[in-house]
Structure 1
Amino acid sequence: MKNLIAKYTAGLLLSSIIISGITSCQKMERPEMNIIPDDTARMNAPLQIYLPFESSVLDSAQYQKGSANNVTYVDGVRGKAYKGATNALLQYPSALKMATMTSFTVSLWIKTEKHTGGAQSVFMMPNTGDFWGNLFLMIEGNNSTTDNSMLVKFNFAGNWVEFNGNNGVNRLPDMYGRWRHLAFSYDAATSRFAAYLDGTKLALPASVTDRKNGQNPLGPLQFKTASKFVIGGYQQHIGIPNNTADSWMLRYTGALDQFRVYTRALSDAEISTLYTTKQ
């Protein structure tokens, strides 16, 4: 009997100690934790797509996995690079916050050879409600044996910039057969467009840099019905707004590396750094 009473008493004492310990822990004052999911900052960051093409279709900025058709990889400016073909392209399922960005910077490295017969699309953010995409870069054909300059056309929210040698906008020099870095930006705060070649801002006339909406500054961009994102082809090649691609619409056959889109206009120094560090 005494043994039972002793065991019972010991059990009560142990329970009291445990309960006391728990209660004391619960009464400890601790600062309230404000937990922010890791992906919140990432999803809202200016860098909305970053494709290093390390033999992978994964977007290293937002972790979207692309869907590739006949894409191969070659040595790039840094590691591996995307290699296009006449039947190749890469698409991503969402335009993410690029769909609502009011400013932007696009940065990329390209290495390509001359082509004929039409215009190759390097990339495009589609517009499901229009023939033209929301944001894209095209390279026109060049069949000259002596002229190594490139005629490129850049479009953002319906604003065309054509580097065609007219109106003070020169064709891009010595662009074929070597790696060149390109960057394009637009700043909604100043309504100014800028283009860069190998880290250096190009001298463009005010008619190109100072974007207007009638007589007023253009202001914040408004992309329309943006959907998906395409590397190496036009939106028509992925069925937007339909599956009918004109004969002049060619897929990009060159190499592409370190492709980035930011939702803000980078500074001259930042773009220069992307070039010098081969990012």
Structure 2
Amino acid sequence: MKFFKTYISGKLMLSALISLGLLSSCEKDGNPNNLPDVNPADYEGKIDGYTSSDEIFPRNLVAYWSFDDTKNEVKSNTAPTQTANDSFVDGGVRGKAISLNSGYLYYATQINAFKSDSLKSFTLSQWVKITNNGSKRTMIFQIARPGIFNGSLDFRLNTQSFPATTTNTLRMNPRFTTVGGGSQDNLNSTLSPTIGADKWTHLVLKYETTTGVFNMWADGVNVGSFNNRGVGNNLFKSYEPGEIIIGGNYNTIPGKTIGTDATFANMVGQIDEIRVYNRALPDAHIRALYNLGKANK
């Protein structure tokens, strides 16, 4: 009987020691999957894990305007057909920027990246220096349709809504034409970025064709109020032929006027780093583009 008690006691103690040993082993081994060590030096100088905006989904970047002493769309080397009141200026988000003094850039050449079968989902990112004007709308980027007032995609700013002294509110009202020939839009009815003649503001449109969600971002924040635009006949379509207008629309370009609509004026302000991706970027990468741009990267 004494032996049995001793055996039981010893067995319990052994089990306890094994348990403690296992616990001790778990505490000592903080890398059970044998992952490689992280070297903090590898992340020095990086923002959100990147050293440059160029590292954000480079394979999905299908159109890019750097405005570093060139007005050409960099990926296709497409030159503008017609420009007005435009000049390169120092102090861009990265390098130089384009300044428009009631000006525009017009590209009549069809860029392959904007053909119907090439552009389904998209992210359009650009930096602007803009002010309200109290009288006219501003079109900062348009995938235009020859002979038609509304484009496949219109990035409209309601700069007519407030006077130039209002810098804490910018109403954005982007729209697109659907596969059914209709129209869908968005509006930042509650949230807004701060703007100003001397402030770079980051504006982004993001569209996912599988869900019909059309988001609008400003300075790293999703500010859109009407993001769910539907599928089926409500899906976005990039019609052909397509042209690109930066800073205006057909009714602000001499000789291209369509109808009598006079709600737009050519842009007064600056634009830099226009990037178009053929996918809806994850939210973290939109914020990364904003943070990298603030650091001139």
Among 78, 81, 85, the alignment partner of 2:97 is 81
Distance 1:78 1:126, change over 3 A: same
The residue aligned with 1:111 is 129
Structure 2 portions without partners, runs of 5+: 1-58, 178-182
The Cα of 1:125 is off from its aligned counterpart by: 0.8
For the 8 Å contact 1:50–1:59, the answer to whether it is kept is yes
For the 8 Å contact 1:184–1:194, the answer to whether it is kept is yes
Query: How large is the RMSD of aligned CA atoms in angstroms?
Result: 2.5
The Cα of 1:259 is off from its aligned counterpart by: 0.5
Distance 1:229 1:191, change over 3 A: same
The one-letter amino acid paired with 1:181 is H
**How far apart, in 2, do the equivalents of 1:238 and 1:114 lie?**
21
**How far apart, in 2, do the equivalents of 1:244 and 1:85 lie?**
24
Deviation string 1:204-236 (CA, Å, 9 cap, x unpaired) is 45xx222225xx6945x2233342101111033
Please say if 1:266 is aligned against 2:276: no
Secondary structure at the residue paired with 2:211?
coil
Deviation string 1:119-166 (CA, Å, 9 cap, x unpaired) is 111111112253211111122222164563011210122211122x3x
Secondary structure at the residue paired with 1:269?
helix
Please say if 1:254 is aligned against 2:254: no
The one-letter amino acid paired with 2:121 is S
Q: TM-score, normalised by structure 2?
A: 0.68
The residue aligned with 2:70 is 56
Aligned residue pairs total 224
The residue aligned with 2:186 is 161
Distance 1:200 1:230, change over 3 A: same
Secondary structure at the residue paired with 2:187?
strand
Deviation string 1:109-128 (CA, Å, 9 cap, x unpaired) is 01122313211111111122
Distance 1:222 1:115, change over 3 A: same
Distance 1:239 1:154, change over 3 A: same
Please say if 1:120 is aligned against 2:138: yes
The one-letter amino acid paired with 1:173 is P
Among 190, 193, 197, the alignment partner of 2:211 is 190
**How far apart, in 1, do the equivalents of 2:99 and 2:73 lie?**
16
The one-letter amino acid paired with 1:161 is N
**How far apart, in 1, do the equivalents of 2:263 and 2:173 lie?**
14
Structure 1 portions without partners, runs of 5+: 1-44
For the 8 Å contact 1:104–1:186, the answer to whether it is kept is yes
**How far apart, in 2, do the equivalents of 1:135 and 1:56 lie?**
24
**How far apart, in 1, do the equivalents of 2:244 and 2:146 lie?**
12
Q: Percent identity?
A: 25
The Cα of 1:48 is off from its aligned counterpart by: 2.5
For the 8 Å contact 1:149–1:173, the answer to whether it is kept is yes
